[in-house]
Amino acid sequence: MKTVMVFGTFDILHLGHIDLLVQAKKYAEKLIVVVARDERTKRIKGKSSVHSEEERRILISHIDCVDEAVLGGESDVYSVILEKKPDIIALGYDQTAFVDKLEEIISSNTLHTKVIRLKPYNEKKYKSGIIKEVIHSQL
């Protein structure tokens, strides 16, 4: 069975996230979503998530097109790739964290994983940072 893997924080779930997952699912029979750990999210984004890693994983797991939702590795962000061995890794249009070493990890572990970049969904409206700014301005 062909598998596609997507990585993300998925805090404050929105239509842009749903579109990303639906796009990714079109590439394979099985969609595995890797939800970023709280500690890693804070390090990358400079602030904590609204929802905990487990809350975000549970929310993602209830989306119809998602076959499996897992938390990212605690010490090694790439460990889940080596464990699950996806056929495809689908990146968001603006995803940059940990992408630079992705090809190196794939080739050095003799995986045959293809890396693709998905299209944005109304990025001026459905981007987590923009949505959080709007929410905070209303408080």
Where are the alpha helices (H) located in the chain, listed in sequence order?
15-25, 38-45, 53-61, 79-84, 102-108, 128-138
Domain extent listing, the chain: 3-138
3-138 CATH fold: Rossmann fold (3.40.50)
pLDDT in tens, 50-74: 999 999 999 999 999 999 999 999 8
Active site residue 47: yes
Catalytic residue, chosen from 47, 101, 119, 124, is 47
* pLDDT value of position 134: 47
Catalytic residue, chosen from 25, 26, 45, 84, is 45
User: Which secondary structure element, helix H or strand E, spans residue 91, and what is its range?
Assistant: strand 88-91
pTM: 0.86
Active site residue 101: no
pLDDT in tens, 86-99: 999 999 998 887 88
Instruction: Answer yes or no: are the C-beta atoms of 48 and 41 closer than 8 Å.
Output: yes
Q: How many helices (H) and strands (E) does the chain have?
A: 6, 5
92: left (phi over 0), alpha (psi -120 to 50) or beta: beta
